[in-house]
Amino acid sequence: MIRKRLIQHLISLMFFIFLANFFILKFYWYSLIWYLDIIMHLLGGFWVGLFFLYIFSRKQQVYFNLNLILKIFFVSFLVGFLWELYEFYLNVVSGTIFNFNDTISDLCFDLLGSIVSILYFFKIIMSERINKVQWKNG
């Protein structure tokens, strides 16, 4: 049941990120609203964190522990790093100036989004299961 609920959240968030990015690019909002990049990296890190929680929960019960946090943190960093390499490549091809501070802040917000995904998973998704079990037993 947890995996079903989690996949619903993943698909909804994926479509939201896709639509948001579509309109942001179409109307050039990245250049008009400076903090949209931060929001999109938070959402991206959140989605990556939830996605890998879904993957890791496939074979076994997921528990809140340091090993899980480090796995999610590492995978989110890796995905964010690969995305930043892609942005760097686009900067080189288009001839725009590389911004190191932007890259570091993007990675930090990717990681923050992944941390929020872990907290969300255990607070919202897992607590629904615990509440249902307690209610049935109580």
Condensed to tens digits (0 to 9), the pLDDT of residues 22-78 reads 999 999 999 999 999 999 999 999 999 999 999 988 776 777 788 888 999 999 999
DSSP state of 125: I
Q: Between 89 and 136, name the one with better pLDDT.
A: 89
Rounded to the nearest integer, the mean pLDDT of the chain is 89
CA distance 47 to 117: 7
- 14 part of a folded domain: yes
Q: Please check whether residue 138 lies inside any domain of the structure.
A: no
pLDDT of 130: 54
Q: Is residue 62 part of a domain?
A: yes
Domain around 73: 2-133
Q: How many domains does the chain divide into?
A: 1
φ, ψ of residue 65 to 5 degrees: the values are -150, 170
* pTM (2 d.p.): 0.87
Other Cβ atoms less than 10 A from the Cβ of 42: the count is: 19
Query: In this structure, is residue 74 part of a structural domain?
Result: yes
Amino acid at 86: Y
Residue 79 lies in a domain: yes
Q: In the structure, what pLDDT confidence band is assigned to residue 127 with cuts at 50, 70 and 90?
A: confident
- For 22, counting Cβ atoms within 10 Å of its Cβ (0-12 exposed, 13-18 middle, 19+ buried), the class is exposed
What pLDDT shows up at residue 134? Answer: 43
Does a structural domain hold residue 77?
yes
